[in-house]
Structure 1
Amino acid sequence: MENLQAAHQLCDVMTKRNVTSWNILISGYSKCGNLGCSLKLFKEMVKSGSFEEVILQWLVCLLSVVDIAQRVFDRMEIRNLVCWNAMIFGHCIHGKPEARLKLFTTVVDQTGADGKSISPDEITFISVLCACVRAELLTEGRSYFNPMIDLYKIKSNFAHYWCLANLYSGSGLIKKAEKILRKMPKDEKLPSES
């Protein structure tokens, strides 16, 4: 706690706080159980105009207390894809994959602040597939994979295939998992040792 207080004092004298400084303080107070201070700092961050810049990191670090993060998220007037992805991903990390799948269904039905629909991206689908793996939902996971490519025009990557292979192997379909990994398109950015 002493180190956290020292960090807070250092941040108080900073002329402009960046993503890292806000994230460290909010996360630190949250981990120490001082949620009141975390929320107070969050409000200060919003007033400072740094909200969009740090919302993903803040939600993810606070998601160890999923219910509070969900309440903050529910009160947000404007939710962009970054906010949606943070909540969807956080629910899976902290053991609520079914909540993640419900959020996914909601996000595809939402309209953004500019009146345009919010379309899921590759990160959204990694989160959704990961949720299916954690909840052992093979049928649902398969049902998300093809629309990701055909409907949303998202190029599948290593993480998508890895999740799909995990779904099959978790259901005892090892040969099918191996087949998916063998058919996975080569990603030029991955080293050959991967």
Structure 2
Amino acid sequence: MKLLEIQSSVRACGSISRRLSDEFIQAWSTAHSKTQQKKRDVGINPPTHPTELWTKANYTLPKERSHLMASVLTESEILIEELLWADRILLGVPMYNFSVPSTLKAYLDNVVRINRTFTFDPATYTFQGLIQGKKALIITPSAGNFVVGTPLAEMNFCDTYLRSVLGFIGITDVTVVPVPEQFMSNEIRQQEMTMARTKLMKIATDW
């Protein structure tokens, strides 16, 4: 089993998503002794944003790309190969202003590429994801409570976006573990952390 960890918090210390990810990976490694792991930290080391040249290169056939075009896509190719390598993908994604961190958006813009992670059929106007047979687990702390069924749920563009974009490239088995109310009292924060840990420990054994 091969696990790719993607962290997007800009905080190296004090990050809830990082802390819970570490705890999950420890439990996961215990349950799956032969696990191979890779880590991609886009929060601390964000990928380069796509540029005009990047976009032109992306829509140019590989055999017709100039050396410069191929070079500008190198980072993107590395990120995509990591996704293709993994069986399981763990994403630590704190909610920033109702959505994902901009560093993670830059990462996704690098990996959602036609004929690499999805195809498009102009005859039927349909898309097909190419990243098949994988599972994703998302740990998403938030200041308030934005889970389904709460008054603020309609402002949650973090979970909904991630499910949509991952599904678009073929990753449809997605589990989200929210960690809400992190700006509330210490008692409430700890209760939410405990519930999240319980969920994650269970997932670690059978995911």
Alignment TM-score > 0.5, same fold:
no
Q: Give the TM-score normalised by structure 1.
A: 0.32
Q: Give the TM-score normalised by structure 2.
A: 0.30
Higher strand share: 2
* Structure of greater Rg: 1
Q: RCO higher in 1 or 2 (8 Å CA, sep ≥ 6)? A: 2
Higher helix share: 1
